[in-house]
Structure 1
């Protein structure tokens, strides 16, 4: 079997207790036969429209010659730099596939003006832009497309020769793209975004960038039968039970890449699990960790560790005092296995793993701010070049940056977590990711780190719909030079500011503590923030 899983401690107890019942209930064959009743009556209507991912391999294989032919045509014209404009499921899976396969793919999943400008300036004469959006109305992707269209025109390039669109049939984007003469790939509309790794959304950008798609689908196909049958060896059932069935439930799932050949898999799994399970006041919170993360030393009792390794061994149940899950396997096989496991986890949690009811709230709030364009709320105070704002429970007890951080950390419940949300240029300032370990060490609790606005399409669902035990640190970079969005009355700077402010307002409405730090000089302000944490 090309996915191996070993379990120990509470995860092993969950597998022994739950998997036989899943087999008896014919859950695996139910998923494969598109049985929408598996998640209860409330989920049935949505599930009936969202199980196409189980058939993705057969549906996607005919796309491969078409993608290869387009890649060869582009390269014959000297176009060998592929940029992907997409968010959430439209960008996270392609990033993993490309990085693991050594393909050169630039993923633009931000509205930060500097990051957009830098992407456009990189090899424009040799660039093809893949615009990927299921709904066809994603504001980030629409804005990125508009910016590239203008850049191509300014360079004397016909955008119709450089833009490829991936979307669902009959979406607004399909209609406008065909009218503009763009090359269009339509995807299976019965597959939700976060389950779309093996569909056109995962394959078109990575295939154009040079990834071996035939191998990827062959890897997934090799495990397809094992996932489809009701057996106690089924890796989807085993993994689903291990991550969602412990008693008491360990509802924080540390995902640690520890020797695996797969690059960036944890970020993809984070979206899949958080957006699928974080609702109705429950869920599993993925926490992406490095091998030396503080949480692995402190071992909070509500943290389940899963290690992504290159060899999980041949034994299913092992002795391990830390009670970990170890998973190994090829990329294609793991993509499909984790999708099955997440669907199983949804059944165990009693929720619908295919909807995302709380994602739209932040989008609505951001749209409202862009339409009304209100003046920004004044800062509670300014520390150096950092403007400090927050919910009353945080800011009311703070007088400087040090005390603001201190109060926010005190707001984390004993069973809670801290989410760092960095609306920062992640290409120019990857060092902001270092704050995660510092805050985990200081707080003694699991800490997630997300780049804004892409996490809004990922863990953003869990933040609002999951258990009410999170605290939130927003880092918002004030652009030194803004960038217009052609055809829109707002700029990229306006957009990302509205996205951050809109999400903060929704979190506040849900009673979550929020501390927002607006940064004018990212490098200097990061030093100040490190000092405040220390």
Structure 2
């Protein structure tokens, strides 16, 4: 990451569209007059109304983390030095949602290696296990410790360490909330180190807590500089004036939503420039979707590959293209500045957008529904089986059609029927319950579907997206249709001490989420790949054939 000036005004927001700027100006004046920025910095829990006050009162410590997280710096440096002295220099992170997305973008932006496990795909987990365990430390990161994916990873790695003759307790580091079941387990098991995070910070606002800093810092990122960057931005972001970048961004997004632009399309426009924020859209995606997507409203983040990708320059009136970097590629809003400052910028702006939309930006009332559905399937193996029988089969692709797809004809016709169900101003969500490394070509489906349909299209790796856009899918604007892609496993992994394998858990998560989406009246089509590589190629071919 390139060195940045200490001036907090290095954080900047530019509105490049005159009409949007006019609408934002009125909201900006309102926010300034109501002293929203300084009240937020003072952790005023009344900003979002009486219904949100109780939750907000225990979720606002993120505004001062650039100060309160300072003691972590020395602890992280000391542990990293100890580990390296023992020949341990490979960091694997087991975490979901805010516990994985922030450290991943910090490590990627800094260019330091961090293996992130936020998957239940047995092949991807097996690949992580295949690394040199004698050089490996596992960071288990969860506010509660009850996150099923993270607990599964902990169990699998603990056994692998033991099988390799390695003291597992010395190779497991925990990040959790004080008094959590995971904290109690860590003490009972004698794990190497327990970092206790601020319990008054929600997961998606936790980038500058131990959840973001510990894994990235152990991997070699300069987390002190990250806090310096946030501190430099704090005074500007808490100021009640029209030059406040957070208020400007919130006003722009709020005005766009009021005008019908309920989607925010995000991309980096400075790729290749030193200091580029690598993967920042994936972090912002969770923050925006979980914070705003509820009560039938919200902003749907759509992360695209580059400024000329389908859905950005041609975003249309239903979406606001936002550049992370210079105002380019058709963007109407751009944000700039160093990573630590941008974390704080987007957290401030998202919280303020919650006020503008009249919702509580700190709860996630619909996330638990998919978890309950998955648990129900795991508790009834006969019900789970291998899923319902396919409607039809097209080569290596089993087609599981439901509402919105007839199942008649080949794959192209099924997709055509399914995509015809997109409502006006709706969106397509591609959900790939696959290996995001070995099956990376699945991500091509986003741009191909967006190009063919002209419809805003999101892409998420399952179950990663369940802790991110999953809230919006059930609680936000109900105009999405959902394409699930699942796949056969060449190998599966037992979860020690649990009556299921990773592959079984992965399928239960897909089927459970699909059931919840159908209960919300949304069309769901599941394509199961009996051969992953061949099946993905067949789906992409079928999508391209839709042009004919």
Q: Shared topology, TM-score over 0.5? A: yes
Report the alpha carbon displacement of residue 293 of structure 1 after superposing the two structures with TM.
Answer: 1.0
Residue 327 of structure 1 pairs with residue 335 of structure 2: yes
SS at match of 1:393: coil
| Cα distance between partner residues in 2 of 1:438 and 1:362 | 28
Verify the 8 A CA contact 2:323 2:331 in the aligned structure 1: no
| Cα distance between partner residues in 1 of 2:511 and 2:488 | 13
Q: Bigger CA drift: 227-236 or 189-198?
A: 227-236
Residue 299 of structure 1 pairs with residue 307 of structure 2: no
| Cα distance between partner residues in 2 of 1:398 and 1:108 | 38
Map of 2:204 onto structure 1:
194
Residue 262 of structure 1 pairs with residue 277 of structure 2: yes
SS at match of 2:236: helix
Residue 34 of structure 1 pairs with residue 49 of structure 2: no
Task: Please show how residues 266-345 of structure 1 align to structure 2 within 5 Å.
Answer: 266-289=281-304, 290-309=306-325, 311=326, 324-345=332-353
2:62 to 53, 69, 83: 53
**TM-score (ref. length: structure 1):** 0.96
| Cα distance between partner residues in 2 of 1:321 and 1:474 | 30
**TM-score (ref. length: structure 2):** 0.94
Verify the 8 A CA contact 2:392 2:408 in the aligned structure 1: no
Map of 2:427 onto structure 1:
417
Verify the 8 A CA contact 1:11 1:243 in the aligned structure 2: no
SS at match of 1:498: helix
| Cα distance between partner residues in 2 of 1:45 and 1:135 | 20
Map of 1:384 onto structure 2:
395
In structure 2, list runs of 5 or more residues that go unmatched.
1-8
Verify the 8 A CA contact 2:442 2:536 in the aligned structure 1: yes
Report the alpha carbon displacement of residue 520 of structure 1 after superposing the two structures with TM.
Answer: 1.5
| Cα distance between partner residues in 2 of 1:275 and 1:80 | 34
Deviations 1:177-229 (A, max 9, x none): 11101110010000000000000000000110010011110000001111112
| Cα distance between partner residues in 2 of 1:529 and 1:68 | 47
Q: Bigger CA drift: 239-248 or 479-488?
A: 239-248
Report the alpha carbon displacement of residue 298 of structure 1 after superposing the two structures with TM.
Answer: 2.9
Deviations 1:407-433 (A, max 9, x none): 111111120000000001001111111
In structure 1, list runs of 5 or more residues that go unmatched.
313-319
Report the alpha carbon displacement of residue 390 of structure 1 after superposing the two structures with TM.
Answer: 2.7
Map of 2:359 onto structure 1:
351
SS at match of 1:472: strand
Verify the 8 A CA contact 1:113 1:492 in the aligned structure 2: yes
Report the alpha carbon displacement of residue 323 of structure 1 after superposing the two structures with TM.
Answer: 6.4
Map of 1:126 onto structure 2:
135
SS at match of 2:312: helix
Residue 372 of structure 1 pairs with residue 380 of structure 2: yes
Verify the 8 A CA contact 1:362 1:506 in the aligned structure 2: yes
Map of 2:31 onto structure 1:
22
Deviations 1:106-146 (A, max 9, x none): 11110100000000111211000000001210000000000
Report the alpha carbon displacement of residue 15 of structure 1 after superposing the two structures with TM.
Answer: 2.4
Q: Bigger CA drift: 524-533 or 201-210?
A: 524-533
Report the alpha carbon displacement of residue 400 of structure 1 after superposing the two structures with TM.
Answer: 2.3
Query: Relative to structure 1, is the Cα distance of residues 224 and 484 closer, same or farther in structure 2, using a 3 angstrom cutoff?
Result: same
2:155 to 121, 141, 146: 146
| Cα distance between partner residues in 2 of 1:151 and 1:11 | 55
Query: Relative to structure 1, is the Cα distance of residues 11 and 135 closer, same or farther in structure 2, using a 3 angstrom cutoff?
Result: farther
2:94 to 73, 85, 105: 85
Map of 2:447 onto structure 1:
437
| Cα distance between partner residues in 1 of 2:64 and 2:144 | 21
1:216 to 223, 226, 243: 226
Verify the 8 A CA contact 2:307 2:313 in the aligned structure 1: no
Report the alpha carbon displacement of residue 397 of structure 1 after superposing the two structures with TM.
Answer: 5.7
SS at match of 1:175: helix
Verify the 8 A CA contact 2:91 2:136 in the aligned structure 1: yes
| Cα distance between partner residues in 2 of 1:321 and 1:287 | 15
Map of 2:538 onto structure 1:
528
| Cα distance between partner residues in 2 of 1:459 and 1:284 | 10
| Cα distance between partner residues in 1 of 2:113 and 2:398 | 38
Verify the 8 A CA contact 1:244 1:251 in the aligned structure 2: no
Deviations 1:349-404 (A, max 9, x none): 1100000000000000000000011133111111112111132332x363321111
